[in-house]
Amino acid sequence: MSKILFVVTGADSWTLADGTEHPTGFWAEEAVAPYEAFRAAGHEVVVATPGGVVPTVDQASLAPEVNGGRENAERIAKALESFTELRSPLRLEDVRPDDYAAVFYPGGHGPMEDLAVNADSGRLLARALESGLPLGVVCHGPAALLAAVGADGGNVFAGYEVAAFTNAEEKQGGLADRAKWLLQDRLTEAGVIVRAGEPWAPHVVTDRTLVTGQNPASSAPLAQELLKRLS
């Protein structure tokens, strides 16, 4: 059994351009689908958050309309209850990526608030990339890539192709005009190459050891791609 590190946002709100706080956290499906896939494959999951805070699920991610109906929404909510590792996370500051077989970052708008500027997360990602550790990052999770800065001041993921939550999806979700910045734009500015797929459809991009997904629907296929790198 290998250990897979889940790095989860510790934020429960996202500060918008006008200074208001938009309730958020991690997106349920993006945590549940990979967790179930990794556990079914016999791997152990360890959760880490900034400061070791217990992460908050974005309540919007439990709504029937974003889960294909009430039945699946209830299934995901129940699965979250079984994801007991979320209740006792490690402090991200204390984590050594070398202790794990892979690293995974779920999304939700939370990473836009904390992981995008978290130096400990950035160092972990840079170390994982340098050591060839498989990395899986989905939806708004790629915001964390922005904090991975090398000794030369450039982003260590510059030149990598990724999938990430797109400007089109943010606009369709109704928050683009209120955001301080958009993920696709900021990644592009950092030299990361965003390969956009159709809004809301599963879309996974692999580049060397990095596996990324565009949106919640991409989390399950991303998990399968990451598992291939552990077989």
Q: Which tens digit of pLDDT belongs to each residue from 70-113?
A: 999 999 999 999 999 999 999 999 999 999 999 999 999 999 99
Residue type, 153: G
What's the mean pLDDT in 212-226? Answer: 98
β-strand pairing of 204-207 with 210-213:
antiparallel
The CA distance from 62 to 205, in Å, is 26
What's the mean pLDDT in 202-210? Answer: 98
User: What mean pLDDT value characterizes the chain?
Assistant: 97
Q: How deeply is 132 buried, as exposed, middle or buried, from its count of CB atoms within 10 A (0-12, 13-18, 19+)? A: exposed
Q: Could you report the per-residue pLDDT of 24-60, keeping only the tens digit for each?
A: 999 999 999 999 999 999 999 999 999 999 999 999 9
pLDDT at residue 1 is higher than 80: no
Report the pLDDT value the prediction gives residue 209, as an integer from 0 to 100.
Answer: 97
Report the pLDDT value the prediction gives residue 201, as an integer from 0 to 100.
Answer: 98
Report the pLDDT value the prediction gives residue 231, as an integer from 0 to 100.
Answer: 77
Among candidate residues 201, 209, 60, the one with its CA nearest the CA of residue 131: 209
